[in-house]
Amino acid sequence: MLGLVEDRINGSRRRSRRHDTDDDYNIEVLLGVDDSVVQFHGKEHVQKYLLTLMNIVNEIYHDESLGAHINVVLVRIILLSYGKSMSLIEIGNPSQSLENVCHWAFLQRKSDTSQAESHDHAIFLTRQDFGPSGMQGYAPVTGMCHPVRSCTLNHEDGFSSAFVVAHETGHVLGMEHDGQGNRCGDEVRMGSIMAPLVQAAFHRFHWSRCSQQELNRYLHSYDCLRNDPFERDWPALPQLPGIHYSMNEQCRFDFGLGYMMCTAFRTYDPCKQLWCSHPDNPYFCKTKKGPPLDGTMCAPGKHCFKGHCIWLTPDILKRDGNWGAWSKFGSCSRTCGTGVKFRTRQCDNPHPTNGGRSCVGLSYEFQLCNTQDCPNALDDFREEQCRQWDLYFEHGNAQHHWLPHEHKEAKERCHLYCQSKETGEVVSMKRMVHDGTHCSYKDPYSLCVRGDCLKCFC
């Protein structure tokens, strides 16, 4: 039975629809987590850890060096039972393990009847050794949106695994290793995410110019990323991920049970690089060559931030913008014949500061209004708008009687074009048609709204 195979972690059942801008791409993610990860972190703590990890992945994809607006949207987490985990991962066989994981993710897609939880891409985390020593992840190159190939297999060993997840998902998006078949080998030592061996760290990471080019080659073809995703109302996390995790905990995540912050380097700033050791050999210290998470406590009242142990003050913290309250709906654009009314909101609760992201979504919503027919059923709203310019708009040093004209290009149909009754010449009036104007005389279902043609009727 399904209940014996997996546990599903759910946030609140309330869902919110996010309206993204035209150039946003949204990777809706199913996160599969095998029993080795659950046992290591503990079932009562694993959700917070996974949400923090995926938030870091999302921030990696928000780095400007990527050259595209990609959001990593977590829509579903499934914790697998011990038996199911063992059946999917074949020790030392990454190819078969990936095939098993991708097939499992495909079955979740097929059996999922909830549109809100449908996923574009599956990310699978394990602490089992699915490959040779040192293998961090495995994924097909290209395959995003494909029902079977859009998946990655990742070895989880602490928050630095976020870079492995980002790297493997980069492969599925079409990115190759830097320096292998391209000319970006020089960027590997600077912490490029698509380096053959992932060495990016929180203080030093970027997407190489080749990654950007390879992504741009394929991104437009991934239609599944263009939809407007549902976001689960997951529990809120602090702005700085290290607030919840001590250096000792991060050492345990990185190197295993018993590891703690190394105390052999008494004069060393602990925020520059996280060094860890085991009590059995306290002077043998290990590091992944990266700093602790921002927000990690480093001294009484102080926290790590960008590799330094400092007092945190509001002026140095990045703050993402959030929407304020909606205004009331305004007046209708027409008194009859179907008009449009709007309400608006501002990105001021709070304003984005210190590099924080602006609000995601539209600043306005509209409703249709006064949908009753006009008394004179022959009235043409576009014709009215042209006729208003008879006395005011001169063309060729002469006045004209202006008639409506529908532009042959669809993208121009919400711009006001009028045709002279006298000369037959078509002229742009350099303005949009009024909201509620039909886009085309041939399409009774679409209206112009703020210059865009939108389907408003079934």
Known binding residues for Zn(2+) are 167, 171, 177
Contact 105, 246 (CB under 8 A): no
C-alpha to C-alpha distance for 388 and 186, rounded to whole angstroms = 64
Residue for token pair 């437009």:
220
Q: Which helix (H) or strand (E) holds 51?
A: helix 46-61
Q: Where are the beta strands (DSSP E) in 301-389?
A: 302-305, 308-310, 339-344, 364-369
DSSP conformational letter for 376:
S
Of the candidates 211, 207, 230, 209, the one whose C-alpha atom is nearest the C-alpha of residue 219 is 211
DSSP for 138-152?
E--SS-TT-TTT-EE
Collapse the DSSP code of 117 into the 3-class scheme (helix H, G, I; strand E, B; otherwise coil) and give the result.
helix
C-alpha to C-alpha distance for 102 and 99, rounded to whole angstroms = 5
Residue for token pair 């608006």:
344
Contact 144, 121 (CB under 8 A): yes
Phi and psi torsions of 301, nearest 5°: 80, -5
Q: What count of other Cβ atoms lies within 10 Å of the Cβ of residue 91?
A: 10
Residue for token pair 């038996």:
83
**Contacting residues for 320 by C-beta, under 8 A, at least 6 apart:** 352, 356, 357, 358
The C-alpha torsion from 80 through 84 and 90 to 91, rounded to 10°, is 60
Collapse the DSSP code of 232 into the 3-class scheme (helix H, G, I; strand E, B; otherwise coil) and give the result.
strand
Collapse the DSSP code of 374 into the 3-class scheme (helix H, G, I; strand E, B; otherwise coil) and give the result.
coil
Catalytic annotation present for 168: yes
Residue for token pair 């990742």:
154
C-alpha to C-alpha distance for 198 and 296, rounded to whole angstroms = 23
DSSP for 154-170?
EE--STTHHHHHHHHHH
Phi and psi torsions of 268, nearest 5°: -85, 135
Residue 355 backbone zone (phi > 0: left; psi -120 to 50: alpha; other: beta):
left
Q: Write down the catalytic residue from 117, 156, 168, 187.
A: 168
The tokens for 290 are 């990266």
The C-alpha torsion from 260 through 261 and 264 to 266, rounded to 10°, is -150
Residue 427 backbone zone (phi > 0: left; psi -120 to 50: alpha; other: beta):
beta
Catalytic residue IDs: 168
